[in-house]
Amino acid sequence: MACHETKYCQRCQAPFECKVGNILQCQCNGIELTADMREHIANAYTECLCRQCLLEIQGDFRNKPRREKLSRLLSFIKSR
């Protein structure tokens, strides 16, 4: 029997239905996370996160190199 329960996202407190008993229908299914993303999540949270927060973390990690380049560029411009 599938085990479904209402959980609250540890990051944003939004309610969501966890379908650990049927992972193919769970809200987190299909979100690809790198090892670094999974490590960050495991270090910061002990419970499940909602789909929106997982996607936001994924986006933050994907945009990190651009933000770092922009920061270096701004520091260079300020130092001139």
Delimit the domains of the chain by residue range: 5-79
Q: What mean pLDDT is reported for the chain?
A: 86
According to DSSP H, which parts of the chain are helical? 35-44, 51-79
Assess whether pLDDT exceeds 90 at residue 10: yes
% of residues, the chain, pLDDT over 70:
94
Q: Report CA 66 to chain centroid distance, whole Å.
A: 18
Residue in the structure block whose two tokens are 């994924």: 58
* Better pLDDT: 5 or 1: 5
Assess whether pLDDT exceeds 60 at residue 2: no
Query: What pLDDT is attached to residue 79?
Result: 82
The answer to whether residues 18 and 58 touch, using CB atoms and an 8 Å cutoff, is no
For the ranges 18-27, 28-37, 47-56, the lowest mean pLDDT is seen at 18-27
Query: What pLDDT is attached to residue 23?
Result: 82
